[in-house]
């Protein structure tokens, strides 16, 4: 045992030496830690985030805020422990200036202390947990995406307005799942026929769908991003429920990264998000055309967020005069958000989460046979999340 | 309403049980006959799913894809036995665990390199995409019924193979006393290769059929492998009959516990807590079952070796 201990100490010492040697990043470059999910059922989200971020950097001439952009990539496999290891290495050894890419709220919460300690700005391209929007709001966290509840709140509002009385709710059992259903219930006042939380990454929903059917709800609202959504919607279809019971979801459940795999099973479903491929502004047209040309597939809402995250970082560095070491100047630059978002109007609230519109979308099949969302109406204008009042910033 | 729900959930449980049986039938023979701790059986499940996906795409037919995948997985299984596993029979169990764990890593990385890290989503054949009215007022997905039917047919075929053919007799002899079977002139190495190939094909069948229900992805074999071990421990090592009974028990207990516990807990707790607690308790259910079986019958329900 003693010798193992000795070896460990030697190893730690050696690692420290290596760290010291690599500590200084080259002058005139900005280092971005892209920690995202590139394998497993959640990989469709991570791929879109990585690719859209890379597209934005490419369009900016390989630079962010005039500095050469070095994007370090890591696959977190949707596992907190893997993500933590990547984050620690990127903060301590690679000396990143910004972190982004994290998809899952439980991972974002686990990594926040590491980024804060290393004074690294975490510009989220997806996860927007309620904790970081409220009591635990953090000067080093900026959401370029949303607060988790937003899309669900918009759908709750719609379902309420349509007069549904008994709605059955389902989500994965993790922070964003709970945020999601809480958000839905904040705007939906009717009876909850059932509220079911399943394991994260669960792929067989036969038992849950049978229970759901027996509860005979008016409508069903499910939050299942990535592969979970593909399986739920396909099994819903296979169980013969499509067309029998109205199925609603946030934009995450019916997103361009998974719509192709769902096929006709998702056609016609309504969902809500802060972005849609057909939002009419110059930035969005460039983005959708550029993404489709570069990768041969349609961008999802996740891609739009990552694209905006890159543009936000670009604007922040520019505004701070390129001085990455001046953290206060960078923060002011981020808060100003002087970039043109693909979703249209975008500004930050006091808790550094966006104040933005939410739209109702419908899944359609276009004349090229592609499945995508079409904007139907505006649900919320300049919507602010419910937690910002608890934030002391 | 409640009884229909119970029947539907039992069908779901049976369907999981059938998948587990296909996995466990091969693995229990490997344990029983070869006395080998074999962790990479789940890899054959995964490889079967990937082969099915690829062949289905090439032939434009899921059934044809599955039929082509089976011999292909059997070949992979036999190759693994000849190249790697054969060297582990004489070693102790720790080395077998290390060796076969290495195979898991090898297969996962290999699949990632060949097919990429993104999952593949398969669709069931068009004829089985809809539902079948099993009872009045109880539509059930046709593809899941097909899985049940195939699984039961394979169970019957295996029973015939093991109990009424010469190969089956050799397998039974090997399972109950390997040394004696060898001494009586049974060609043990060939028998081992054949059993390994058969086990791999059965796992591949389970994986191929799981494709359209779940998703074809790297590491898909590991989650089912753990349940398979539970099935084998409950059923008794080396026993096909034990594998069948154990698999159905585990499938039913797992599915019904997932249904009952959350709704029971909801009577005393708020839904989000009840579901969290209920699903964690439900996932313990099969291990409680295993512990209970072991307490009463330490060698499992139907041990092969007397």
HEC per residue, A205-271: CHHHHHHHHHCCCCEEEECCCHHHHHHHHHHHHHCCCCCCCCEEEECCCCCHHHHHHHHHHHCCCEE
Residue A21's pLDDT band (boundaries 50, 70, 90)? very low
The three-state secondary structure class of A197 is: strand
Tell me how far apart the terminal alpha carbons of chain A are, to the nearest angstrom: 49
Cβ of residue B124 closer than 8 Å to a chain A Cβ: yes
Across chain A, which distance is largest between two alpha carbons, in Å? 70
Model pLDDT, residue A11: 47
The reply to whether A246 and A368 lie within a common domain is yes
Give me the percent of chain A exceeding a pLDDT of 90.
80
pLDDT at A79 over 60: yes
Residue A218's pLDDT band (boundaries 50, 70, 90)? very high
Q: Which residues of chain B neighbour A51 with C-beta distances below 8 Å? A: none
Q: Which residues of chain B neighbour A227 with C-beta distances below 8 Å? A: 119, 121, 215, 217
- CB contacts < 8 A (A, B): 103
Within a domain: B57: yes
Residue A22's pLDDT band (boundaries 50, 70, 90)? very low
Residue B269's pLDDT band (boundaries 50, 70, 90)? confident
**Are A273 and A151 in contact, with CB atoms under 8 Å apart?**
yes
The reply to whether A117 and A209 lie within a common domain is no
Within a domain: B175: yes
pLDDT at B130 over 60: yes
The reply to whether A62 and A189 lie within a common domain is no
The reply to whether A142 and A163 lie within a common domain is no
Q: Which of A329-343, B38-52, B179-193 is predicted with the least confidence, judged by mean pLDDT?
A: B179-193
Within a domain: B258: yes
| Partners of A54 in beta bridges | none
Mean pLDDT of A175-179: 90
pLDDT at B175 over 80: no
The reply to whether A262 and A313 lie within a common domain is no
Residue A8's pLDDT band (boundaries 50, 70, 90)? very low
Q: What is the CATH number of the domain that holds A202?
A: 3.40.50.2300
**Pairwise CB contact (< 8 Å): A195 & B215:** no
Residue A185's pLDDT band (boundaries 50, 70, 90)? very high
Q: Which of A258, A335, A264 is nearest to A297 (CA)?
A: A258
The domain of B67 spans 8-120+141-296
Q: Which residues of chain B neighbour A239 with C-beta distances below 8 Å? A: 131, 139-141
- Residue pointed to by tokens 């010291």: A20
How far apart (Å, rounded) are the C-alpha atoms in residues A28 and A280? 36
Please give the tally of structural domains in chain B: 1
| Least CB–CB distance from A203: residue in B142, B143, B215 | B215
Within a domain: A13: no
The domain of A117 spans 27-147+280-356
pLDDT at A381 over 50: yes
A-facing residues of B in 65-94 (CB < 8 A) are none
Please tell me the distance in Å from A301's CA to the nearest CA on chain B.
Answer: 19
Q: Which residues of chain B neighbour A214 with C-beta distances below 8 Å? A: 1-2, 4-5
DSSP state at residue A344: B
How far apart (Å, rounded) are the C-alpha atoms in residues A85 and A103? 16
The reply to whether A135 and A250 lie within a common domain is no
Please give the tally of structural domains in chain A: 2
The reply to whether A126 and A244 lie within a common domain is no
Q: pLDDT (tens digit, 9 = 90+) per residue, A245-280?
A: 999 999 999 999 999 889 899 999 999 999 999 999
CB atoms within 10 A of CB B162: 20
pLDDT at A14 over 50: no
Q: pLDDT (tens digit, 9 = 90+) per residue, B284-305?
A: 889 999 999 999 999 999 887 5
| Least CB–CB distance from B141: residue in A195, A214, A239 | A239
Within a domain: B269: yes
pLDDT at B1 over 80: no
Edge-to-edge strand ranges of the sheet holding A29-36? A63-64, A67-75, A29-36, A98-100, A121-124, A141-143
DSSP state at residue B85: G
Cβ of residue B100 closer than 8 Å to a chain A Cβ: no
A104 Rama sector, left if φ>0, alpha if ψ -120 to 50, beta otherwise: beta
Q: Which of A69, A111, A107 is nearest to A90 (CA)?
A: A111
The reply to whether A57 and A121 lie within a common domain is yes
The tokens for A60 are: 């900016």
Within a domain: B127: no
- What are the Cα distances from residue A39, in Å, to A8, A44, A45, A355? 31, 8, 10, 32
pLDDT at A77 over 80: yes
The reply to whether A154 and A251 lie within a common domain is yes
| Least CB–CB distance from A206: residue in B12, B142, B275 | B12
The reply to whether A176 and A312 lie within a common domain is no
**Pairwise CB contact (< 8 Å): B275 & A196:** yes
Q: pLDDT (tens digit, 9 = 90+) per residue, B77-129?
A: 999 999 999 999 888 989 999 999 999 999 999 999 999 888 888 888 888 88
pLDDT at A13 over 70: no
Q: Which of A288, A291, A310, A373 is nearest to A124 (CA)?
A: A310
The reply to whether A243 and A267 lie within a common domain is yes
Of all residues in chain B, the one with the smallest CA distance to A45 is B118
| Least CB–CB distance from A195: residue in B119, B258, B272 | B272
Within a domain: A346: yes
Within a domain: B133: no
The reply to whether A184 and A247 lie within a common domain is yes
């Amino acid at each position: 045992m003693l010798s193992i201990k000795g070896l460990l100490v030697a190893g730690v010492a050696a690692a420290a030496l290596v760290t010291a040697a690599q500590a200084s990043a080259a002058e005139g470059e900005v280092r971005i830690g892209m920690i995202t999910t590139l394998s497993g059922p959640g990989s469709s989200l991570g791929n879109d985030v990585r690719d859209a971020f890379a597209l934005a950097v490419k369009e900016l001439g390989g630079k962010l805020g005039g500095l050469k952009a070095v994007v370090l990539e890591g696959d977190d496999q949707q596992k907190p422990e893997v993500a933590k290891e990547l984050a620690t290495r990127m903060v301590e050894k690679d000396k990143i200036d910004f972190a982004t890419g994290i998809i899952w709220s439980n991972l974002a919460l686990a990594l926040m202390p590491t980024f804060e300690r290393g004074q690294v700005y975490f510009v989220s391209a997806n996860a927007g947990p309620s904790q970081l929007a409220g009591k635990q709001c953090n000067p080093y966290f900026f959401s370029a995406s949303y607060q988790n509840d937003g899309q669900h709140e918009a759908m709750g509002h719609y379902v309420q307005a349509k007069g549904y009385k008994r709605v059955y709710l389902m989500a994965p059992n993790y922070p964003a799942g709970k945020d999601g259903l809480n958000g839905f219930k904040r705007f939906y006042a009717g009876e909850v026929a059932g509220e079911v939380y399943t394991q994260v990454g669960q792929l067989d929903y036969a038992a849950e769908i049978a229970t759901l059917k027996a509860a005979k709800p008016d409508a069903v609202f499910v939050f299942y991003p990535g592969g979970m959504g593909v399986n739920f919607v396909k099994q819903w279809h296979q169980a013969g429920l499509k067309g029998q019971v109205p199925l609603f979801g946030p934009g995450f459940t019916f997103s361009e990264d998974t719509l192709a795999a769902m096929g006709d099973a998702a056609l016609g479903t309504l969902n809500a998000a802060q972005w849609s491929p057909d939002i009419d502004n110059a930035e969005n047209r460039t983005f959708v055309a550029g993404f489709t040309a570069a990768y041969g597939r349609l961008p999802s809402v996740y891609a739009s967020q990552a694209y905006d995250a890159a543009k936000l970082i670009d604007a922040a560095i520019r505004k701070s005069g390129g001085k990455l070491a001046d953290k206060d100047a960078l923060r002011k630059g981020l808060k100003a958000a002087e970039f043109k978002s693909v979703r249209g109007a975008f500004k930050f609230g006091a808790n550094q989460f966006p104040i933005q519109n939410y739209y109702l979308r419908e899944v359609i099949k276009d004349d090229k046979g592609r499945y995508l969302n079409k904007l139907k109406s505006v649900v919320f204008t300049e919507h602010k999340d419910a937690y910002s009042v608890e934030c002391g910033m | 309403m409640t009884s229909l729900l119970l029947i539907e959930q039992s069908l779901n449980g049976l369907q999981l049980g059938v998948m587990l049986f296909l996995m466990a039938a091969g693995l229990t023979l490997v344990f029983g006959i070869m006395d080998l701790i074999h962790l990479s059986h789940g890899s054959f499940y995964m490889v079967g799913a990937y082969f099915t996906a690829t062949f289905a795409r090439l032939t434009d037919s899921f059934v044809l894809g599955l039929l082509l995948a089976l011999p292909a997985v059997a070949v992979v299984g036999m190759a693994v036995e000849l190249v790697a596993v054969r060297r582990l029979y004489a070693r102790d169990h720790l080395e077998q665990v290390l060796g076969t764990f290495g195979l898991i890593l090898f297969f996962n990385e290999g699949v990632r390199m060949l097919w990429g890290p993104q999952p593949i989503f398969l669709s069931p054949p068009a004829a089985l995409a809809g539902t079948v009215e099993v009872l009045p007022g109880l539509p059930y997905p046709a593809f899941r019924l097909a899985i049940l039917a195939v699984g039961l047919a394979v169970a019957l075929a295996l029973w015939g193979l093991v109990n009424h053919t010469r190969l089956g007799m050799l397998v039974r002899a090997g399972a109950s006393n390997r040394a004696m079977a060898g001494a009586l002139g049974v060609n043990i190495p060939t028998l081992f290769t054949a059993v390994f190939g058969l086990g791999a094909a059965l796992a591949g069948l389970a994986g191929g059929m799981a494709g359209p229900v779940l998703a074809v992805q790297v590491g898909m074999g590991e989650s089912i492998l753990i349940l398979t071990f539970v099935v084998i421990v409950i059923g008794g090592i080396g026993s096909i009959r034990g594998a069948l009974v154990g698999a159905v028990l585990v499938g039913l207990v797992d599915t019904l516990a997932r249904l009952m516990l959350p709704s029971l807990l909801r009577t005393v707790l708020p839904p989000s807590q009840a579901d969290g607690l209920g699903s964690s308790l439900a996932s313990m259910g099969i291990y409680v079952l295993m512990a209970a079986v072991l307490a009463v019958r330490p060698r499992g329900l139907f041990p092969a070796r007397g």
